[in-house]
Amino acid sequence: MTISRRDILKAAGAGLAPLTLSALPSLQAWAATGNPLQLRAGPVRQSLRPGAATSLWGFNGSVPGPVLRMKKGDTARILVSNALPNDQGTTVHWHGMRVPNAMDGVPQVTQDPIPTGASFAYEFPLVDSGTFWYHPHQHSFEQVARGLYGAFIVDEDQPITVDREEVWVLGDFKLQPNGQQVNDFGGAPTLGGGGRLGNVVTLNGKQVGAKQGLELRGGERLRLRLLNTATARILKLDFGGLQPMAVAFDGQAVTPHPLPAGYLLGPGMRLDLVIDAPDAPGQQFAVSDTRDLGLRLATIAISRKAALRNKALADAIALRPNELAEPDLNKASQHFIVFEGGVLGKPAIGLVDGKPSPVADIMKKHNLYWTMNYQAEHEHSLMHTPLFNFRRGESVVLKMVNETEFEHPMHLHGHFFRVLKINDRATPHREWRDTVMVSPKGSVDVAFVADNLGEWMFHCHILEHAAGGMMGTVVVE
């Protein structure tokens, strides 16, 4: 089903029927037993919208998979088993978590794919608190698009005081009229353009709409964790008059500040908000994606019951920051990376999978559309030529320059970076992130300390772009 303007207006006019926030299963029992958590990737049938059930792939029988929830300082022990059809290998990447390289879940780079019928034990210390997620890194443009993902929350040792906490896992699916997925994963037309967009946007595995959401009492304080798992859809968030405070980007604390209007939550990104419900009994606030047509994601309604308190909690909402090494900007080595290509531009190619290649061959022969510093690689090719080599402990300033007509949410594994400048203008909060949006013809300057040993992926989180060449590695030695 496609989302028409009429549906949106209809939804907007609908009364406040009871709101249902689809609850997510969660897994946290491991701590009590000491046994590893088990995540099993396999086929799932699930109704994303009323009517036909869709054949999907999920973890532990659901899409999204269970919310993993542990505490900072604990050690995660997770046994991932592969029950996917058609003999297809998989891995799990713990997006945003600063894990030892061998636990990063990247096929060909950090491990061999887990074959069908086999399993792999991941074990890593949880060095950061925050909102993270997990997903396969093998054929991620297909495996993530089919539903293999879930949220991974690491609690602070001293959390902020809230009355309630919710996790909204947003995603999208491209369905045929019969409810089954369109089988065009990684198709050539999506690789070099805006990626593969779904036609059904979901919140916690159910189609979004005015009836999704939650009800707050006046004065109630909510911590809302948002995660965009879509392979390509960029969400432009609007809270319809509520004024959420941003307290973390990609899991890392940021100075609390009002969420800027039209905030872009790109694929892979997370956002932690604190919302103090106004004392406005019966009022409803639409949470929307205003990027394309305008789409209601959910409703936050204020209950008609007596307010929980008559003024907002006085407790501070600033999260305690994690221990991230501060880059020394005076001593930092300076680097740049240029993105080129896409259907509206042309790739500037020197190397394909590490070998010199004529420009004329890149699209036709190699089915690649993008280059990063004149290199393009097939997803996890064995021939990866690192984009950069850093010494362990080196402070690095990296300027990303986007010469294409498309946005690219760029993600670095194993590290967080400070965002210093966007389009050459200093950022007000110099926030830490693991994924940053680089606008068309724009630039972003980041800085970090390369302190995690190993070979790490650096790629666009529009997963079709990653498959189309925007995937490379950075070595810390």
Give dist(CA 473, CA 462) in Å, integer. 16
d(CA 36, CA 128): 20
The interface partner of residue 206, options being ligand C2O, Cu ion, none and the CB cut-off 5 to 8 Å by kind, is: none
Cβ atoms of residues 185 and 145 within 8 Å: yes
- Select 302 or 460, whichever has its Cβ closest to Cu ion: 460
Interface residue with ligand C2O, options 39, 76, 92, 93 (CB under 6 A)? 93
Nearer to ligand C2O, 93 or 221 (CB): 93
From the list Cu ion, ligand C2O, none, partner contacted by residue 296 (C-beta under 5 to 8 A by kind): none
Q: How many CB atoms lie within 10 A of CB 40?
A: 16
* 135 forms part of the interface with Cu ion (CB under 5 A): no
Specify the residue, 57 or 285, whose C-beta has the smaller distance to ligand C2O.
57
Q: Which is nearer to ligand C2O, 93 or 384 (CB)?
A: 93
Choose the one of Cu ion, ligand C2O, none that binds residue 268, judging by a C-beta under 5 to 8 angstroms depending on kind.
ligand C2O
**Cβ neighbours of residue 260 under 8 Å, at least 6 residues apart?**
none
CB of 150 to ligand C2O, least distance (A): 12
Interface with Cu ion (CB under 5 A), residue from 408, 411, 415, 418: 408
Contacted by 208, from Cu ion, ligand C2O, none: CB < 5 to 8 Å by type: none
Q: Give the Å distances, CA to CA, from 49 to 133, 175, 179, 204, 232.
A: 24, 10, 9, 12, 21
**412 vs 460 by CB, closer to Cu ion:** 460
The residue at minimum Cβ distance from ligand C2O is 95
Distance CA 328, CA 179 (A): 53
Query: Which residue matches tokens 């036909």?
Result: 52
Nearer to Cu ion, 170 or 234 (CB): 234
Q: Are 275 and 222 in contact (CB under 8 A)?
A: yes
Q: 174: burial class by Cβ within 10 Å (0-12, 13-18, 19+)?
A: middle
Q: Does 107 bind ligand C2O (CB under 6 A)?
A: no
- Shortest reach from residue 180's CB to ligand C2O, in Å: 26
- Give residue 91's identity as a one-letter amino acid code: T
What is the residue-wise DSSP string for 256-267? EEEPPTTEEE-T
- Asked if residues 291 and 437 have their Cβ atoms less than 8 Å apart, the reply is no
The answer to whether 270 contacts ligand C2O (rule: CB under 6 A) is no
Q: Toward ligand C2O, which CB reaches closer, 196 or 411?
A: 411
- Cα 194 to Cα 189: distance, rounded to the nearest angstrom: 9
Instruction: Kindly identify the residues of this chain, within the stretch 416-475, that bind Cu ion according to CB under 5 A.
Output: 460, 462, 465
Cα–Cα distance measured from residue 276 to residue 3, given in angstroms and rounded to the nearest whole number: 31
- Binding to ligand C2O, residues 401-460 (CB under 6 A): 411, 413, 457, 459
Q: Which stretch of DSSP H or E encloses residue 12?
A: helix 5-13
Residue 413 interacts with which of ligand C2O, Cu ion, none, CB < 5 to 8 Å by class: ligand C2O
Beta strand 235-238 with 284-289 is antiparallel
Residue 95 binds which entry of Cu ion, ligand C2O, none, CB below 5-8 Å type-dependent: ligand C2O
Q: How far is the CB of 452 from Cu ion (least distance, A)?
A: 24
Looking at 56, 72, 95, 142, which residue binds ligand C2O (CB under 6 A)? 95
**With binding defined as CB under 6 A, does residue 384 bind ligand C2O?**
no
Q: In the complex with Cu ion, which residue's Cβ is closer, 67 or 410?
A: 410
**Least distance in angstroms from the C-beta of 464 to Cu ion:** 8
Instruction: Indicate which of ligand C2O, Cu ion, none lies near residue 460 (CB less than 5 to 8 Å, by partner kind).
Output: Cu ion
Q: 141 by DSSP, 3-state: which?
A: helix
Alpha helices, DSSP H only, in 204-323? none
Number of residues that bind ligand C2O (CB under 6 A): 10
Interface mask (CB under 6 A) for ligand C2O, residues 117-156, using x and -?
------------------x-x-------------------
196 binds, among Cu ion, ligand C2O, none (CB under 5 to 8 A by kind): none
Residue for token digits 């020197």?
Answer: 350
CA distance 471 to 381: 10
Beta carbon of residue 238, minimum distance to ligand C2O (angstroms, whole number): 25
CB 154 within 8 A of CB 129: yes
- β-sheet with 26-27: strand ranges across: 26-27, 67-71, 150-155, 130-135, 93-95
For CA atoms 114, 116, 118, 119, give the dihedral sign: positive
Query: Which residues of the shown chain bind ligand C2O in the complex (CB under 6 A)?
Result: 93, 95, 135, 137, 268, 411, 413, 457, 459, 461
Query: Which residues of the shown chain bind Cu ion in the complex (CB under 5 A)?
Result: 408, 460, 462, 465
